Amino acid sequence: MVWLHERILRALDRAPRKTLDPWDLASQTGYLPEVLKAISMLQRQGLIRVARGAIRLTASALVMKPLRKKSPSLDRVMRRYTDIRSRLTFDQHAFDQLCLSPKAVAFKLSRAIGYDDLFGKDVLCVGDDDLFSVAIALTGLPRSITVVEYDPKVIKAIRSVKTPVKIRVIRANLIEALPKQLKNRFDVVFTEPPDKPKGTLLFLSRGVEALRSDGVAYCGMPAVTLSLRQWRRVQEMMTRAGFAITDGWRDAEPYVVGGDETTWYGFENIPDWMKYIPKRSWFISTLFRFERVARKPLPKIRIQDIKRELLTNFIE
């Protein structure tokens, strides 16, 4: 509900004369019955006023901490991001990694900004060989940004960058556990898990552990290496953990061409006529957004199964 209150206040703050018709407000913020409950509470708090079929911010709301920050130019952010990324090189295959294209980074960033999921939020990236944390930090919107990562080369790359919002990087092996100081600490989690079913469950489950009661999770899942049956397992886990799927953008996240696709695990039996370097992005994920509506215990995940599935480099 706190998330909905913020969304309503920011929608009003963006509106001409800080006023919206209730139907327009509902179209921008969510489920009408819940919006009406939130409006009643915000009225009691003296933050909005309802009169003649219109909802208006009060002076009390306007003197609070800023309701929003002007979003920076996405083009400017991406120019800086691509310049930084072009100067940082590291092996992206040792830990089952493949990097999102800048186009995918820009899309995910724009969706998060559009949902008001960055301003004033504590953000966690679970794994970050895409350097998405750098793109987020360049917007200047979050209150804090943390990355949990295992690859020392990625960690070194992120720590070498100076950004408007400082990025805290913690090295951790997610197979073992999520560091205690990260649990129930974040508003938003972003992850691009290993493209294997149990690896996806592991990364998302660690992200869920890190979220507060009304948190949001973004996750990319590819259809070329995960079947619909495996997608359903991920969705079932998130539903049982109290999340709703609020959005899904198919083919939103193209990855860079790896150049060694024919050597990937599971691709050993592809025919000889396919054994050449792809000319364009072919490995593409659907980006999902999950929003927590109830705090429920996570289903049990067998760590031994995950260890067998993931590359041995993750296992010490």
pTM of the model: 0.82
Query: How much is the pLDDT for 14?
Result: 84
Count up the domains in the chain and report the number: 2
Classify residue 67: in a domain, yes or no.
no
**Do 144 and 211 sit in the same domain of this protein?**
yes
Query: How much is the pLDDT for 208?
Result: 94
Domain of 10 in residue numbering reads as: 2-62
Query: How much is the pLDDT for 107?
Result: 94
Classify residue 46: in a domain, yes or no.
yes
What Rg value do the Cα atoms of the chain yield, rounded? Answer: 21
Query: How much is the pLDDT for 5?
Result: 85
194-to-37, 153, 197 alpha-carbon distances in Å: 40, 17, 8
Whether 221 and 200 have beta carbons less than 8 Å apart is answered as: yes
**Do 54 and 96 sit in the same domain of this protein?**
no
Query: How much is the pLDDT for 204?
Result: 92
Query: How much is the pLDDT for 64?
Result: 66
Classify residue 31: in a domain, yes or no.
yes
Q: pLDDT 10s per residue in the chain (316 long)? A: 567 888 888 888 888 888 998 889 888 888 888 888 998 999 998 888 998 889 998 887 776 656 666 777 899 999 999 999 888 866 555 556 677 889 999 999 999 998 889 999 999 999 998 999 999 999 999 999 999 999 899 999 999 999 999 999 999 998 888 999 999 999 999 999 887 778 888 999 999 999 998 899 999 988 777 888 888 888 999 999 999 999 999 888 887 766 666 666 666 677 777 766 777 776 788 999 999 999 888 777 666 666 555 554 443 3
**Do 88 and 45 sit in the same domain of this protein?**
no
Classify residue 24: in a domain, yes or no.
yes
Domain boundary (26, 42, 62) is at 62
**Terminus-to-terminus CA distance in the chain, angstroms?**
42
**Do 124 and 273 sit in the same domain of this protein?**
yes
Whether 135 and 158 have beta carbons less than 8 Å apart is answered as: no
Query: How much is the pLDDT for 313?
Result: 41
**Do 118 and 244 sit in the same domain of this protein?**
yes
**Do 30 and 89 sit in the same domain of this protein?**
no
CATH of the domain at 120: 3.40.50.150
**Do 10 and 81 sit in the same domain of this protein?**
no
**What span, in angstroms and rounded, lies between the C-alpha atoms of 279 and 285?**
18
In the Cβ-directed half-sphere of 248, how many Cα atoms lie within 13 Å?
10
Residue burial 43-75, b: 16+ Cβ < 10 Å; e: rest:
eeeebbbeeeeebbbbeebeeeeebeeebeebe
**Do 175 and 230 sit in the same domain of this protein?**
yes
Classify residue 249: in a domain, yes or no.
yes
**Do 198 and 242 sit in the same domain of this protein?**
yes
Residue 21 sits at φ, ψ, to 5 deg, of: -65, 140
CATH of the domain at 52: 1.10.10.10
**Do 53 and 80 sit in the same domain of this protein?**
no
Classify residue 111: in a domain, yes or no.
yes
Classify residue 188: in a domain, yes or no.
yes
- Contact partners, residue 88, CB within 8 Å, separation at least 6: 131, 157, 160, 161
